[in-house]
């Protein structure tokens, strides 16, 4: 008598989300593989095989964009995880005004990247900027942070660190809270110093947070665009160009096929770095 009842969790619930996601995310992603092999003006696409990719790896400034992307991502990710952990340890040790300090470190995460970029442009001005004036007080002749080709990329990475370290700290604070105090007590009874406790207890046990911080900041670093665009626009020359800014420049210049090839390269780069990393992190976790 009871006919097969319909599930109370119908699949059409997924439909609205799926329509938007498929049309505006999946379709363009798959289409990008085709368009990256064409000369394309948004209306007509002529198949030209691997030419765009050839050009990407032949033009020195495009190659530099690729190298810069890697430097930038590794640098910001490493510095955010190291400083984030140290700050998190400091901000969970019961110091004076701990709550306020946490807020201060975290707030830049929420602020407009463009606003921060413009502010640091002024602060890093070679002659009038606050940073170099302060350095001059202690007798240091400050460099042209954002207009020296050898330094621009690193200065932008520093601004990114300044803005993003609060998120890493926050994730580490949550990770530290999950470590049972018993471990520290046992270590103390065994006579471990504070430094030993940090290396032997904190670092291994905060691993899940480390994995998250490194993965998130690597993905963010590889895709990073707005902070660079707001401060140097890839310049001077192409010295601080990264893949995302190269893609935008090619798009602006009307080289849609080439821009899309850049997009596919960025996608591949992220996949090549993130997938093995995730696999490696998960494998290590089983060993522990």
What part of residues 181-240 is at the interface with another protein (CB under 8 A)?
208-209, 212-213, 216, 219, 222-223, 225-226, 229-230
Q: Which two tokens stand for residue 286?
A: 């089983």
Nearest to 49 by CA among 63, 62, 39, 59: 39
* Distance from C-alpha of 256 to C-alpha of 267, rounded to nearest angstrom: 16
Q: Which residues of 242-271 are buried (b: 16+ CB within 10 A; e: fewer)?
A: bbbbbbbbbeeeebbbbbbbbbbbbbebbe
105 is an interface residue for another protein by CB under 8 A: yes
Q: From 70-78, 107-115, 136-144, 187-195, give the range in contact with another protein by CB under 8 A.
A: 107-115
Which residue lies nearer to another protein by CB, 92 or 192? 92
Which residue lies nearer to another protein by CB, 18 or 150? 18
Minimum CB separation from another protein for residue 281, in Å? 11
Question: Which of residues 129, 164, 221, 234 is near another protein by CB under 8 A?
Answer: 129
Please count the residues of this chain forming the interface with another protein, following the rule CB under 8 A.
91
Of 50-89, binders to another protein (CB under 8 A) are none
Half-sphere exposure of 67 (CA within 13 A, CB side): 9
16 is an interface residue for another protein by CB under 8 A: yes
137 is an interface residue for another protein by CB under 8 A: no
* Distance from C-alpha of 257 to C-alpha of 162, rounded to nearest angstrom: 35
Which residue lies nearer to another protein by CB, 154 or 251? 251
Q: Which two tokens stand for residue 80?
A: 């955010």
170 is an interface residue for another protein by CB under 8 A: yes
Which residue lies nearer to another protein by CB, 150 or 286? 286
107 is an interface residue for another protein by CB under 8 A: yes
Q: For residue 77, give every residue at least 6 positions away whose Cβ sits within 8 Å of its Cβ, in sequence order, or none.
A: 213, 214, 217, 218, 221
Query: Residue 78 — φ and ψ, nearest 5°?
Result: -65, -45
Q: From 18-26, 51-59, 70-78, 234-242, give the range in contact with another protein by CB under 8 A.
A: 18-26
């Amino acid at each position: 008598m009871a006919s097969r009842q319909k599930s109370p969790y119908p699949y059409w619930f997924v439909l609205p989300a799926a329509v938007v996601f498929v049309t505006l995310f999946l379709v363009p992603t798959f289409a990008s593989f085709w368009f990256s092999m064409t000369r394309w003006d948004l209306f007509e696409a002529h198949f030209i095989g691997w030419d765009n990719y050839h050009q990407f790896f032949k033009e020195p400034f495009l190659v530099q964009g690729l190298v810069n992307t890697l430097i930038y991502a590794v640098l910001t990710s490493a510095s955010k995880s190291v400083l984030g952990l140290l700050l998190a340890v400091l901000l969970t040790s019961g110091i004076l005004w701990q709550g306020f300090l946490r807020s201060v470190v975290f707030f830049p995460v929420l602020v407009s990247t463009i606003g921060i970029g413009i502010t640091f442009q002024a602060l890093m001005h070679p002659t009038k900027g606050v940073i170099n004036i302060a350095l001059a007080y202690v007798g240091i002749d400050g460099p042209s942070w954002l207009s020296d080709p050898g330094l621009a990329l690193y200065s932008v990475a520093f601004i990114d660190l300044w803005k993003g370290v609060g998120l890493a700290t926050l994730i580490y604070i949550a990770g530290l809270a999950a470590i049972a105090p018993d471990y520290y007590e046992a270590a103390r009874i065994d006579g471990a110093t504070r430094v030993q406790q940090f290396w032997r207890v904190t670092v291994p046990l905060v691993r899940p947070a480390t994995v998250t911080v490194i993965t998130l900041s690597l993905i963010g670093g590889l895709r990073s665009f707005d902070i660079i665009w707001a401060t140097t626009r890839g310049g001077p020359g192409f010295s601080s160009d990264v893949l995302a800014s190269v893609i935008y420049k090619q798009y602006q210049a009307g080289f849609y096929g080439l821009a899309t090839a850049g997009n596919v390269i960025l996608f591949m780069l992220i996949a090549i770095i993130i997938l093995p990393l995730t696999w490696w992190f998960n494998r290590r976790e089983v060993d522990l």
